[in-house]
Amino acid sequence: MWTRLSTIGSLSWAILAFLAAPLAAETGDPLAGEITSPVRDCTGGTTQDMPLIAWGADGVVVHANGQSLTPRPGLLADAGWTLTLSVKDDFAAQLEDYLACETPFLRGTLGMLMAAAPVTEADPRTEQIVFYKHSWSAGDGIVAAEGIRSPADLRGKRIAIQAYGPHVDFVGRVLADAGLSFDDVTVVWARDLTGDGNTPAGLLADGEADAAAVILPDARLLTSGGAVGTGAEGSVRGATILISTLEATSVIGDYISVRADFFDAHRDAIARLVNALFRAEEAMRGFMAEAGNPDRAVMAQLMADDFLGGLPAEEGVFLWQDAITDGWSGNARHFADPAELRRFAVLSQEVAAALRGAGMIDFPYQLATAEWDYTALTDGLQNLDDRQVAVFDPELAARAVNQLRRTGQLEANTKIDFEVYFEPDTPDFPADLYAEDFATILRLASTYSGAIITVEGHADPLHFLRREKDGATASELRGIRTSTQNLSLQRAIAVVDALAAFAGETGVRLNRDQFIVDGVGISNPAFNPPTTEAEWRQNMRVVFRVLTAQAEATTFNPL
């Protein structure tokens, strides 16, 4: 049996919130079959218990509570709340407490909250109102066995996923972007997320699965430090990290929801709670970036002790760094900005589709939100324009891409690709013809906002091949190669320019530095030589490649 190392990796403890799923949770069947608690009314006051999970963003609630799990003077107390916090990593137990009004709150990823919907939405009292978004995850990944190089290679394979855990929707999103669905794979359900029990990592290591959705510390263990597994020290020979939320940074979102009966009775008080959390997140984002700050020392030690069971304080810092916290601006965009591509309504549709595909819900749910007026929740905030964005160094990124191409590793590092075809002898990409393609590319860029995206211009080799056959000189053939390479580069630049213009016209944010433009001319045609007009046209294309962290490592500054 595979055994996890006792120390935590230096980069992740992502979504450690779901360490202890119920013992029966090895099927992925609807969660309703696991829940037995009756529903009780829940309209009491603002002295309440609130569940946390062992996740860095939950430190925001602790900080707002006076840097304590028990009530102390702080932002929450000032807002009229007396909260007793507890780390509740068993989501089914959370749900039992929620129904019984031991707490009016649920804490989980959107996939977890959606999986609970068949239970919570069956009674109007317990319908979920999602009122706060904590963060995006940057600490989860899919590890694949030897021979699986891209998500498309998962077709027909076995994927280990924790039942009722945080990764069902993550796997569903990656499969969909590879042109697959849960019908194309076999899911092997695990009871636990990590540790020595029945886990996805253990199922992969024991040969019972071909891939596994895991937290990044386990991913690095399985792959000998994030490279290729050697088979020693708990790794799996040939295993690699297929893709992670270091690239797919807008896939796994963490939230708090509240019962509808309690929300209706205490809407104003919950609004004050949300403002207190916004202020705590703003403060914590500041002091956690300062190595010598005493508040950082206190919170790092608290999270290491209470979230991670007594690990060194530095692990509390790493836990915080795995969470891309949202704060006021992130929540305002996610819930209220129709131009935000990864907004709640869109993510809900994705998550519902993934859970249905995995057999965990029978029909798509749309959880209600608080529908805050976010302009009324800014009291005490210092910086409303605090959007966290990935920062790429274009020069270093281009250098990394060129190195991958020279060493023949570009295909291996390409996890998702998308092609745009253009008309012969034209560098133009008008929005009316390419709007659907542009929308897809923008969605990919937003979903995989931590990844480099290369934009390769390709040309058709038919003219070169004809001249070569006719006996053209070496000088003429070099000229043709050079001109086609220049033309393909111009087309790649033109498509990114058109994409940026389309984004601007539709109000969508685009990180231009994420895109690295490259012209490869006739060096890699889809058909060589083309034998039909259709093949000839397919050679005239621009290929968008989403690259993994191996290329990103020297070019991407973590959030």
Q: CB–CB of 16/189 below 8 Å?
A: no
Which of 189, 224, 244 represents a domain boundary (last residue)? 244
Q: Round to whole Å and give the CA distance between 155 and 346.
A: 26
Asked if residue 299 and residue 216 are part of one domain, the reply reads no
Q: CB–CB of 418/543 below 8 Å?
A: yes
- Residues 77-91: tens digit of each pLDDT: 999 999 999 999 888
Residues in the chain: 559
pLDDT value, residue 559? 34
Residue 155 lies in a domain: yes
Asked if residue 147 and residue 119 are part of one domain, the reply reads no
How do beta strands 47-52 and 541-547 pair? Answer: unpaired
Asked if residue 398 and residue 355 are part of one domain, the reply reads no
Helix axes 168-177, 344-357, angle to 10 degrees: 90
Q: CB–CB of 40/3 below 8 Å?
A: no
Q: Round to whole Å and give the CA distance between 502 and 339.
A: 12
pLDDT value, residue 7? 33
The residue-averaged pLDDT of 325-331 equals 95
- Residues 175-207: tens digit of each pLDDT: 999 999 999 999 999 988 887 888 999 999 999
Q: Round to whole Å and give the CA distance between 118 and 356.
A: 12
Residue 366 lies in a domain: yes
| Three-class HEC string of 183-201 | HHCEEEEECECCCCCCCHH
Kindly tell me if the per-residue pLDDT of 311 is higher than 90. no
Residue 11 lies in a domain: no
Which of 226, 244, 262 represents a domain boundary (last residue)? 244
- DSSP output for 366-425: --EE----GGGG-TT-S-S------EE-HHHHHHHHHHHHHTT-HHHHEEEEEEEE--TT
Residue 16 lies in a domain: no
Beta bridge partners, 258, equal: 105, 129
Q: Round to whole Å and give the CA distance between 364 and 169.
A: 13
Q: Round to whole Å and give the CA distance between 226 and 242.
A: 10
Phi/psi of residue 185, nearest 5 degrees: -135, 170
Q: Residue 395 burial by CB count (10 A; 0-12/13-18/19+): exposed, middle or buried? A: exposed
Residue 38 lies in a domain: no
Residue 14 lies in a domain: no
Asked if residue 192 and residue 145 are part of one domain, the reply reads yes
Q: CB–CB of 249/324 below 8 Å?
A: yes
Q: What does the mean pLDDT of the chain come to?
A: 88
Residue 114 lies in a domain: yes
Asked if residue 528 and residue 422 are part of one domain, the reply reads yes
Q: Round to whole Å and give the CA distance between 368 and 134.
A: 17
425 Cβ contact partners less than 8 Å away, ≥ 6 residues apart: none
- Residues 13-57: tens digit of each pLDDT: 333 333 333 333 455 567 777 787 899 999 999 999 999 998 899
Q: Which domain holds residue 315?
A: 44-136+253-377
CATH assignment at residue 517: 3.30.1330.60
CATH assignment at residue 301: 3.40.190.10
Asked if residue 229 and residue 150 are part of one domain, the reply reads yes
Q: CB–CB of 60/282 below 8 Å?
A: no
pLDDT value, residue 386? 67
The residue-averaged pLDDT of 317-332 equals 93
pLDDT value, residue 30? 74
327 Cβ contact partners less than 8 Å away, ≥ 6 residues apart: 278, 281, 282, 285, 386
pLDDT value, residue 390? 67
Domains of the chain: total: 3
Q: Round to whole Å and give the CA distance between 36 and 475.
A: 80
Asked if residue 203 and residue 343 are part of one domain, the reply reads no
Asked if residue 273 and residue 152 are part of one domain, the reply reads no
User: Of the ranges 114-123, 382-391, 433-442, which one carries the lowest mean pLDDT score?
Assistant: 382-391
CA nearest neighbour of 322 among 156, 463, 149, 136: 136
Asked if residue 347 and residue 267 are part of one domain, the reply reads yes
Continuous segment of H or E residues that includes residue 130: strand 128-137
pLDDT value, residue 12? 38
- Residues 129-140: tens digit of each pLDDT: 999 999 999 889
Q: Round to whole Å and give the CA distance between 199 and 19.
A: 9
CA nearest neighbour of 329 among 381, 266, 289: 381
Asked if residue 369 and residue 352 are part of one domain, the reply reads yes
Q: Round to whole Å and give the CA distance between 507 and 504.
A: 5
Residue 4 lies in a domain: no
Q: Residue 29 burial by CB count (10 A; 0-12/13-18/19+): exposed, middle or buried? A: middle
Which of 199, 227, 244 represents a domain boundary (last residue)? 244
Kindly tell me if the per-residue pLDDT of 2 is higher than 50. no
Strands (E), 191-292: 211-215, 240-244, 253-259
Asked if residue 182 and residue 65 are part of one domain, the reply reads no
Beta bridge partners, 107, equal: 256
Asked if residue 395 and residue 334 are part of one domain, the reply reads no
The residue-averaged pLDDT of 486-510 equals 90
